[in-house]
């Protein structure tokens, strides 16, 4: 079945540690996105990538980093510089960023800093 897979579903991190969230898609989509969701704030864009080896900062990129070495993979690293990383993280992809097509979402990763 085609889709987007995020792993792990739940993640706990100690303060001061970096952690990487996985996002893989087998939809052959060009564009991929990372969003952060906090209660009452909707979804906020962290990073997005329209093509392999290229990505752009979204609205809240500070404290995060990404890579896009393969078309199907877009991992997100939450660094120790992110002041308040506890949140629900959603990965999405779309066929082409310029063609107004819908986004397909993974099931999310809930990150908790302990």
Partner 1 sequence: AQSVTQLDSHVSVSEGTPVLLRCNYSSSYSPSLFWYVQHPNKGLQLLLKYTSAATLVKGINGFEAEFKKSETSFHLTKPSAHMSDAAEYFCVVIPTGNQFYFGTGTSLTVIP
Query: Which parts of this chain interact with partner 1 (CB under 8 A)?
Result: 4, 6, 33, 35, 40-43, 45, 48, 50, 88, 90, 92, 97-100, 102-108, 110
Burial (CB < 10 A; 0-12, 13-18, 19+), residue 39, is exposed
Q: Which is nearer to partner 1, 70 or 96 (CB)?
A: 96
Cβ at position 20, least distance to partner 1 in Å: 19
| Beta carbon of residue 84, minimum distance to partner 1 (angstroms, whole number) | 18
Output 9 or 70, the one with its CB closest to partner 1: 9
Complex with partner 1: residue 75 or 108, whichever CB lies closer: 108
């Amino acid at each position: 079945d085609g889709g987007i897979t995020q792993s792990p579903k739940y993640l706990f991190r100690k303060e001061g540690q970096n952690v990487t969230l996985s996002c893989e898609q087998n939809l052959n989509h060009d564009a991929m996105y990372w969003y952060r969701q906090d209660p009452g704030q909707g979804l906020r864009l962290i990073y997005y990538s329209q093509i392999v080896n290229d990505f752009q900062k979204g609205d809240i990129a500070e404290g995060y980093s990404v890579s896009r070495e393969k078309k199907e993979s877009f991992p997100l690293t939450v660094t120790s510089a992110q002041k308040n990383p506890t949140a629900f993280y959603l990965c999405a992809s779309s066929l082409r960023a310029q063609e107004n097509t819908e986004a397909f979402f993974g099931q999310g990763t809930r990150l908790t800093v302990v």
